[in-house]
Amino acid sequence: MNDTATVRIFLTKGSPTSVRTAEISNWTGKAVAGPRSQIEEMLKREEAGKPGVYFLAGVNPESGRDRVYIGEAEIIRNRIKGHLDRDFWKTLVFFVSKDENLTKAHIKYLEGKLIETARAVGRFELENAQASGSHLPESDAADMDVFLYRMEQLLPILGQEFLKPVVKNEARARRTDLLFCEIKGFKATGRQTDNGFVVLKGSEAVLEERPSTQKYQYAANLRAGLRSDGVVEEKNDRLVFLADHEFSSPSAAAAVIHGGQANGLTAWKDSKGVSLKQKEEKDIQQTPAGDVLKAAPEE
């Protein structure tokens, strides 16, 4: 499938954080997104009276992790009103069809696929992890898979990345992108991503935490969260990553590996021993001055 797309975003109040709609050229779907504080305006819209799928996104106040509820409804506004007692969510995004062709079976199929994908990606906690799904004729299923693909393209543009894979397979295969963090004979492998830094499955971390974590508990809290989520487990004298995991920065990743505060820019190095900091400085120095974009002259 062609990845290129022309996206049209309409800011209903002129603000990128307010209610907005999103469409892709030559696609029958349409997205509406906005903050919970403007829920009344969103539910008044014509699109909210249609069948579709929706996402309630926010943060779990107990774990501090991003959380999302994925649902389907024959009338979006009616179902959303029933979620006002859930206080974790702060953003609503819903998708409908402009040609009125989404049936109950279609949206249940989409809901099932969406929950399955979000669970596999593992970026967000799922408020609801079960979906009945729906069996569709082969042609309908193919149409809905295209619909789902377009949704996956639009969601990050609307600020929602719970379906975005942590590491793309083709990116993982580029060995020149890999960086390594070593301490006390243990070795972790990772790479930079658009959102931070990912540590790859099989990476190792020290088992014992540094005394400084008693005062600066950030690293200890991260490690405890990874243990409880089953991302890492203790094996003999070390912690081992059971899955790829994305961190907010190279330093956050290095802190988990080191068992305490660490400077990720110097801790992560390529296969030749060049640190991430040195690589970035070299890349900047090699950027020709002519590559800097100039503002267009005023007319």
pLDDT tens column, 75-89: 999 999 999 998 999
Report the pLDDT averaged over residues 223-245.
91
Question: At residue 89, what is the residue type?
Answer: W
Beta strands 66-73 and 29-35 are unpaired
Which is more confidently placed, 34 or 225? 34
> 252 in helix, strand or coil?
helix
pLDDT band at 132 (very low <50, low <70, confident <90, very high): low
Instruction: Kindly tell me the burial class for residue 204, based on how many C-beta atoms sit within 10 Å of its own C-beta (0-12, 13-18, 19 or more).
Output: buried
Question: At residue 24, what is the residue type?
Answer: I
Report the pLDDT averaged over residues 35-52.
95
Six-digit token string for 171: 């990116």
- Give the C-alpha separation, 16 to 90, whole Å: 15
pLDDT at 173 over 70: no
Angle at 288 between CA 283 and CA 289, to 5 degrees: 120
pLDDT at 297 over 60: no
Six-digit token string for 189: 């492998």
Strands in 186-193's sheet, in edge-to-edge order, are 179-183, 186-193, 196-199, 245-247
- Give the C-alpha separation, 147 to 251, whole Å: 38
Model pLDDT, residue 286:
66
Which is more confidently placed, 286 or 68? 68
Helix spans in the chain (H)? 39-44, 76-81, 104-121, 138-157, 169-172, 218-228, 250-258, 264-267, 276-285
pLDDT at 137 over 70: yes
Prediction pTM value: 0.67
- Give the C-alpha separation, 232 to 50, whole Å: 43
Six-digit token string for 32: 């509406």
Model pLDDT, residue 142:
94
* Mean pLDDT over each residue of the chain, to the nearest integer: 87
pLDDT band at 4 (very low <50, low <70, confident <90, very high): confident
pLDDT tens across 11-41, in order? 999 988 899 999 999 999 999 999 999 999 9
Contact residues for 69 (Cβ-Cβ < 8 A; gap 6+): 55, 56, 57, 83, 86, 89, 126, 127, 128
